[in-house]
Amino acid sequence: MKIKAKDLGEKERIKTLDALYTASGSLKGRDAVKRFLRDLLTESERIMLGRRILIAQKLLRGAGYREIARSLGVGRDTVEKVRHWLEDQMPGFEEAIKGMEKEYRQRKTRAEIAHGPFSFAALKRKYPLHFLLSNIVDELSKHSKN
């Protein structure tokens, strides 16, 4: 039987939310959080939450309601709800979005390093025989020492 949040007593509401916060707070790393949310929520619920985060991100960057509604295909009411949450819960949303943007910057930097023209991967692609011969020479020298 489905129970609405407003029908819960204060103690039960606190106990329920504490279970969610404690479980999610105990996770280490993006993959663990991803598995947890995948198991906990339906795809539709995950998409809905992700879209709210994208709306909040755009609002914090100063985008207008019309632009956000058009770019994400959401109604102005949804944008308005997220704006209200930002006003009421600013530290939580703002922390999450700052963390998310920091992670995106780190990913971009890692990708540039890994795929740059002088990265190990790029050199290995450009000079495959050198690395093949290098590995063979290393193996031969290991065997000759034994």
Q: Which residue has the tokens 């390093």?
A: 113
What gap in Å lies between CA 12 and CA 90, rounded to an integer? 26
Reported as a single tens digit per residue, the pLDDT across 30-60 is 899 899 999 999 999 999 999 988 998 899 8
Reported as a single tens digit per residue, the pLDDT across 65-99 is 999 999 999 999 999 998 888 877 656 767 777 77
pLDDT of res. 146: 59
Cβ atoms of residues 40 and 49 within 8 Å = no
Q: How confident is the model at residue 137 (pLDDT cuts 50, 70, 90)?
A: low
Which sequence spans correspond to the domains of the chain?
1-40, 42-115, 119-146
| Angstrom distances, CA of residue 44 to CA of 23, 37, 48, 50, 120 | 21, 12, 6, 10, 40
